[in-house]
Chains A and B, each alone.
Chain A
């Protein structure tokens, strides 16, 4: 069978919603696209621990601290589920990590914004995780089996993340005037970057068409963004907060909210490395990797020592 036949069979499997599994034949470009997308997703989870980790020691109560710790631990777990999915495609874990540390691989730009105060932890859970959930719920139906299965696990856990964030927002928005002002300030700063998380407009998105044909993605960037705006605006209203967009209004005819133009210059500038925290984030990852080297070495040495001890009695017996 030539490649053309393989490709026809591959596409017909996708069309009839049969999942692609690791050892199945797949076009090289499909494999490459998935490795790129899954590893970027994994990097995002790992870097995503940093803005929130910033507030663990300053959480306002033990309850909030325990919750935030559990959430940050989940983000590490999500990163690991995803790296493991990428490895089923033949990617090497160490190569993927090196691509992140050298700045070769991208991660979600949202994590290049700073967490200035406690309300930001609420806004991240509510808006950033909320936007991520839109994308991730779609990805539970992605065509590649291991990626879809990782997403099912992740989505179950993300729901806790979003709710704990919204609970923080409720506490602050219904609290003192100062707390409410902090909540509003936080919404002002996180709203637009959250909308940017869905990526460029469909008309400017380079990877979209093929990704939709292969059912890696099931919805376009603009569809997901609209869905996010539609569900989030009423949540902001409940909080008594104002979404920072003068053009935001319900469009009866479309049955959706209309919203203002995203500042794409800012988007591309952050993607290209010039956001408020790009350098700091990468430095933190490199430092964690380097500082952890002795731990990895020690674990390897200990495993070898244990292995030797297991083998030693056997060797003695043979010699006798």
Chain B
């Protein structure tokens, strides 16, 4: 070994050093070989360009002085990150000219959808894309679900018996391909939704029949009166597609559409709607591309092209946002957002997310044990440290009931419980547990919407220890725990709920006769008094808004006193975007309204 001469030793040492440097800090390795071999050109050429395009501070600084051009230059550099070869320069220039005109928005998003076909898709991602590329007959205001607003329908009327809805359509709407919107398109779209019998089809269950009275009038007859029907029709599944295009793609609305409809493949890649954007392409798990609909009947949106890139990992979304790869990140966790607040290039948005976190107490004594006693349930509602959860999760609030606080009439923080340990102890004594008891808390062990359920479970454990209840935690794999929960096998559990319909009737799930109460808590109709039963029945059919409001208030008070749940926290949704992006609004129904976004100069 001593035989190796010094020259070799030196070169080898240097090589080792370079390699080690490379290994220790990743990127350097490519630079080392790059300097001797072909890639040199690439590394040297791209590096300065990329830094320019991606250095947010500089971009911002420039924007303040120079106007639009600076902005678009930066955009275009992202599009063409490498310096073009000389012979191609001419071609490239022509391309760049075109791209200079184009306003592009890039969104980092964790894609959750298997389809973009209105009759099949039923997911957050498809909701965003459908909102951009199709229209519904009626809609909600920009930020909440407080009223029903016109959209493709200018007006509507409900028959006396609450069974028949008549919609009058706008006469100035055309589909992206130029065809005019007619009542037949509406009837076709909704019957296809019903007959394809896929994921969102149940939404149309209330519909008995549909009829196009004339070109611009549609009548929808319901199976039974349903006060929440208009709110349900805001769901993007009730978007209107161009019947001619769907049929041309092999689609059908016939009764056997479940087996004969063949339009899904086409509709996954193309939109046939009246919305501000057109679906240009979808590469599953990679990206969705939307382009502006030049013939849109409403106000033309700002961006010409929107690319929704699938970045499943929140941490990666953050890096991509900070480096300027994307303009907007949809799935950041609370702690990430806190870290981003100091960055001048990034704006943080917080709104009420649509999930209510609650503790469930099974009413079946065999399953729930001590917590099946309504007094114990009430004691637990008094024992939870509500303020502690809002402190734990920035931007979250305490709900007053299991009706999501964005729904008209829901009990908010003002009507919520406040911790009262003495009251809790008294109630426990009354129920025969002066020294408390031991119980297992089941919950799915995962992080949802940035909320780590395990953290909350530990806090529940600590809260209840103060009144003598010894909780042992029983975390479960999500699907496994979900199965137990849905089968009503969990006695004492921690779950969360998002409304299926942004209407007060959604709350009926948590009362006897409803799904969560009946199937998951075994809190059944025979356990409550006649008056409350009658009230619940009336809540499901009453159409007068004032009477409804009063009924739902009474029911929420009833649930606070007697319910099998302890709703304790409604977390915030958080989004962050580059500070030059404007018009961001989060909506509990469709999430993100792409057409409202623009870029400041």
A, B from the same assembly: no
Residues of A within 8 A of B (CB): none
Residues of B within 8 A of A (CB): none
